[in-house]
Structures are given as C-alpha cells and as structure tokens.
Amino acid sequence: MSFKAFLKKLGDLVYPANIKCVCCGRELDETADFCKPCYKALPLNRRYCKYCGAPLSGSVCYSCSNGERSFCKARSPFMYTGNIVNMVRKFKYDGAKYLFEPLSKFMADRYLKSHFDCDIIVPVPVHKKRLKERGYNQAEELAKGVSKLVHVPIENSAVTRVKFSVSQTELSGEEREKNVLDSFAMQNSEDIVDKNVLVIDDVMTTGSTVDEVSKLLLENGANKVYVLTLAHSCLDKDKNEVSALLS
C-alpha cells in the first residue's frame, strides 16, 4: 500500500466516509444526522396550543377550549407534514429503525424545554398482532431515545392494547374516537400509582388515543399525565381553523 493510500485509509477510519443523511440518504462530509437541506426542511412546531401542542397561531385550539382533556399538557417538536410524514412512514412501514435515535433527540429537547416533570414513561402500546407484523413498537423505540436523554425510566407493562384497530390515519375525527374506545386496558398499575407519567406516541392527530391512555392511567392512580409525540397533525377536520391558519 502506498503512503497516500495508507493516509486515505487512516482518514477513512477517523472520518468514516459512509455517513448518510437519515432522511434522504445523501452522503455527508461530517458526522450529522441530517444533510443541511433536510435539516432546514424539518417542520418545527414553533407556535402551538398551550394545552395539546397543536400547531396554532393563537394560544388555545378549538378542541381544547371546547372539550376536556384528561392529560395536563401535550407537546410535539414537529408538525405532521413535509419530510416528517415521509420519515414516519419509513419507520412505520419500511422498518427504518435508524430514524428513531435522531428523531427522539428532538423529542427530548422539547420535553426539557417544556419543563415537564415526569417520573416514568409509558409508550402507547401497539396490539400484539401489529407488533408481530412490524417487529417493534414505534412509540417504544422513540421512548427509548427520550428515556436515555432525559433520564426517566420506561414502564412497558402498565398498559396493554386489547383491541386491534384499523389505522387511525384512514378515519375521520369521530370515527377515530370510536375506534380507540376501549382499545387499552390496565395490566399493571403498581408502578404508576402517585406518579407523573409521560405518555409517548409517534403522531398525535385528534388526541383521542393519548386521551384514552391517560384516562386509564389516571383512573388507576397516576398523579398527572403529560404527553409527548414526535409530530402533531395540522390537517384534521376538528382543527379546521388550525389548517386554515397554516395554509
């Protein structure tokens, strides 16, 4: 091997050449999760409802001012649009597990900035049939990344999904609420009694899923429930005014 080739090889060891943007696959010159264009295109959720975290230019969304939420507060670092939609599809349907760590960093950041004070994390469970199909629970994978960064342990045995429901994304707001009704059951309440629980999911749409889980946790002795999702939808019928303000 020539000296030049040796140096190149050494350089490749110190600076591995094969670092790719997790979003578009473009090769990167430096260690980063995203290339610059993909990073710039991330739909950060900057202005949102102070209760449910829905993208909004006002302070409280229509749903929160009209209905009761069982959780205290929900936050999402991203709006469910643009390249986030593609990445969610990739980890939900294409087995792209490499996306969980880079995306959970944004969730941990939003958790810390929101000053949530939680004792335990409960990822929204998937039905065991879905788990078998997909090989993992995406909410749990995101929760693992958050847990590592904010030092809050995960409790996986508290809640279980008892109803195999059709995908929420295909349904209207009202259908969604019916779809999640009695979807979950308490399995082990020991570890959540008197605790502040952080419920983690991938995408929040109407909030009916996380609402159902937090009701169950509160009925079984949890002190308070907070919610953290990767993204919050801004296209739902129930939040017409939200979509209008954003368009």
Binding of Zn ion by 84 (CB under 5 A)? no
| Binding residue for Zn ion, selected from 42, 64, 139, 213, defined by CB under 5 A | 64
Lookup result for tokens 């969304």: 61
Binding of Zn ion by 234 (CB under 5 A)? no
| Least distance from Zn ion to the Cβ atom of residue 154, Å | 26
CA angle 114, 226, 211 (to 5 degrees): 135
Could you give the CA distance from residue 16 to residue 10 in angstroms, rounded to a whole number?
Answer: 10
| End-to-end alpha carbon distance in the chain | 59
| Least distance from Zn ion to the Cβ atom of residue 48, Å | 8
| Binding residue for Zn ion, selected from 21, 99, 199, 203, defined by CB under 5 A | 21
What mask of x and - would describe binding to Zn ion in positions 38 to 57, judged by CB under 5 A? x----------x-xx-x---
| Least distance from Zn ion to the Cβ atom of residue 219, Å | 22
Nearer to Zn ion, 53 or 125 (CB): 53
Could you give the CA distance from residue 200 to residue 102 in angstroms, rounded to a whole number?
Answer: 16
Of 94, 92, 79, 74, the closest CA to residue 41 belongs to: 79
Instruction: Locate 171 and state its tokens.
Output: 């349904």
Nearer to Zn ion, 21 or 216 (CB): 21
Under DSSP, the state recorded for 78 is E
> What's the half-sphere exposure (Cβ side, CA atoms, 13 Å) at 55?
26
Nearer to Zn ion, 125 or 207 (CB): 207
Segment lying near Zn ion (by CB under 5 A), choices 6-14, 36-44, 81-89, 166-174: 36-44
3-state secondary structure of 221: coil
| Binding residue for Zn ion, selected from 7, 10, 17, 24, defined by CB under 5 A | 24
Q: How many residues form the binding site for Zn ion (CB under 5 A)?
A: 12
Nearer to Zn ion, 61 or 234 (CB): 61
Under DSSP, the state recorded for 57 is S
The answer to whether 197 and 120 are in contact (CB under 8 A) is yes
Nearer to Zn ion, 21 or 126 (CB): 21
Nearer to Zn ion, 58 or 134 (CB): 58
Binding of Zn ion by 204 (CB under 5 A)? no
Segment lying near Zn ion (by CB under 5 A), choices 14-22, 124-132, 139-147, 170-178: 14-22
H-only helix segments in 47-137: 62-66, 82-93, 100-113, 128-134
The answer to whether 192 and 132 are in contact (CB under 8 A) is no
| Least distance from Zn ion to the Cβ atom of residue 180, Å | 18
> What's the half-sphere exposure (Cβ side, CA atoms, 13 Å) at 158?
28
User: What residues line the site for Zn ion (CB under 5 A)?
Assistant: 21, 23-24, 26, 35, 38, 49, 51-52, 54, 61, 64
